[in-house]
Chain A
Amino acid sequence: MTGSLSGVASVIGIGQSDWVGDHKRVRAGERPHDSYGYGAQAFLSALADSGIARDEIDGLIVGPTTAYERVGELLGLNVRWGGQADAMTAVMEACMAIRAGLASVVALVYGNDQRSAQVNYGGPDAQGGGAFLAYVYHAPWGFTSQGALYAMMARRYMHERGLTQAELGEVAVAQRLAASRNPRALMRKPITVEDYLASPFICEPLHLFDYCLINDGGVALIIAEAGKARRAGRAPVAIKGVGRYDLNRGATSLEPRLLDYYLPAQQAVAAQVFEMASLGPKDMDALQIYDSFSLHIPLALEGYGYCPVGGAGQFMRETGISLAKGLPVNTSGGHLSESYMQGWNHQIEAVRQVRGEAGDHQVEGCRHVHYSSDVAGKAISIIYGA
């Protein structure tokens, strides 16, 4: 039953805006671009990287922060198929559309001016309440922000599974090490577990360094049907497997978070994605894990079988999750230290790693990269390979 999307499509182009340069300008009080401008810059860079002509694009997916028609209008793209989706769903949908013959070259375009537009993820104007009731329902008790939701989850997870605060700190430390080797990363000064423990709490038990950055920027990918990708002239990176499982029951009262830690969703996706790719956890050379908060990393390590359930703390401390030691996770610095591009930067980092173009943060001999996200208990997974 599975296997149908494996190898159907490949990434032939990746691009991004100048996260570092624009971040400096935003911090100086400027608004360099809006979401559409960031998306346009990323698109141009991905198109140039792909080597194909703009009029070969016949599919378009835009990120949730921009209107579909306006992006298509600005980029001059009339297409056979299109829509709006988050990063991980967009990659899956591109594969589905290509498989169905509805499109052969799909542009994925994301732009977000969340920092310069002063977007709030908590408080009276908390984002996302229209899609996720839990983000706003508990406001009368002062309980909003995705950080607070993950803090509530982290406290009980630490109590039940024995993860220590210092072990959780290994995530921020490992990702900062990666960012220190990545010129595209915003936060490059290495930190230690001691620095992590000394950093202020935002919503206890989560510290400042457990939280993602908030910055402006854009990311784009060009995904093509596999045969077309091979003729495009540059080494394509294949999408070898995809999987998805959503926990919706009890979501507003936090049951998937506090009772299951998303585990059943990740285990269901693991079975699907590894079977589809005919690969297993041992074949993965690097992991990219959606990290709005550090807690996502231990959850995914356990959920996808990289360590036993309850073993993530020991795995992160002893085996390691950094470029220096063990299984490298979020090799660009991720959302915590590279750039908060809502899962989009993880996709282009996965492609760079498989291409062998990641420079000082390259994982040697990287052939397969596993991407995982579990935002609000919606588990999605993608395997990229040469």
Chain B
Amino acid sequence: MANSQPVVALYDAPMWESLSRERMQLQSCGHCGTLRYPPGPICTTCTSLDYRWTDLSGGGEILSWVRFHRAYFDDHPPPYNAVAVRLDEGPIVVSNLIGPEPEGEWIGRRVSLVYRRHLDRTQHAFMLSEQP
């Protein structure tokens, strides 16, 4: 086995750089405003090539989750979770839920983006939001 590695293609690099500053940004389409994830050269909604890097609100909702019971990476000893979060701005990201886990149903719970040092990089994770 070995440690996990991010895919850092040309358009991913600024996103990972924004994570290292603990202020995650994604490309916002210059024409229709759609956010791109993964980052890329063209808007998949309107095909515009224009974009600007934009901050995220950090809010989202759990769409689904899993728990790994088998080791795939040295840096992720089982058991551990992964969550699919629908960001308030639209994109779905896969991440980890850290801190207290929900009692009962996870799907639909509000979560907030946090930053975590992992190996030699900073990556996102999510925590349950305070109950309103």
Chain A interfacial positions (CB closer than 8 Å to B)? 122-124, 129, 133, 136-145, 148, 151-153, 155-156, 159, 200-205, 249-250, 252-255, 258
Expressed in whole angstroms, the Cα–Cα distance for A205 and B82 within the complex equals 12
Distance between A199 CB and nearest chain B CB, rounded to angstroms: 11
Chain A residues positioned under 8 Å from B11 (CB to CB): none
Distance between B42 CB and nearest chain A CB, rounded to angstroms: 12
Chain B residues positioned under 8 Å from A138 (CB to CB): 82, 94
Distance between A378 CB and nearest chain B CB, rounded to angstroms: 17
B71-98 vs A, Cβ < 8 Å mask (1 yes, 0 no): 0110110001010100000011111100
List 13 extra interface pairs beyond A124-B1, A124-B2, CB under 8 A. Answer: A124-B3, A124-B4, A137-B38, A140-B121, A141-B4, A141-B82, A141-B94, A142-B73, A142-B82, A152-B65, A204-B68, A205-B66, A253-B93
Q: Is the CB of B66 within 8 A of A133?
A: no
Nearest 5 interchain pairs by C-beta: A142-B76, A156-B64, A123-B72, A138-B94, A124-B2
Contact of A250 with B44 at beta-carbon distance under 8 Å, contacts A159-B107, A203-B70, A258-B64 already known: yes
Distance between A196 CB and nearest chain B CB, rounded to angstroms: 16
Q: Is the CB of B107 within 8 A of A142?
A: no
Q: Count the B residues whose beta carbon is within 8 Å of the partner chain — how many?
A: 37
Residue B123, interface by CB 8 Å:
yes
Q: Is the CB of B64 within 8 A of A140?
A: no
Residue B131, interface by CB 8 Å:
no
User: Nearest CB to that of A142 among chain B residues?
Assistant: B76
Chain B residues positioned under 8 Å from A129 (CB to CB): 7
Chain B interfacial positions (CB closer than 8 Å to A)? 1-7, 37-38, 44, 63-70, 72-73, 75-76, 80, 82, 84, 91-96, 105, 107, 118, 121, 123, 125
Name the contact of B7 in the complex, choosing from A133, A141, A202 (C-beta under 8 A): A133
Distance between A294 CB and nearest chain B CB, rounded to angstroms: 15
User: Nearest CB to that of B66 among chain A residues?
Assistant: A151
Expressed in whole angstroms, the Cα–Cα distance for A129 and B95 within the complex equals 18
Expressed in whole angstroms, the Cα–Cα distance for A203 and B73 within the complex equals 14
Distance between B68 CB and nearest chain A CB, rounded to angstroms: 5
Chain A residues positioned under 8 Å from B91 (CB to CB): 253
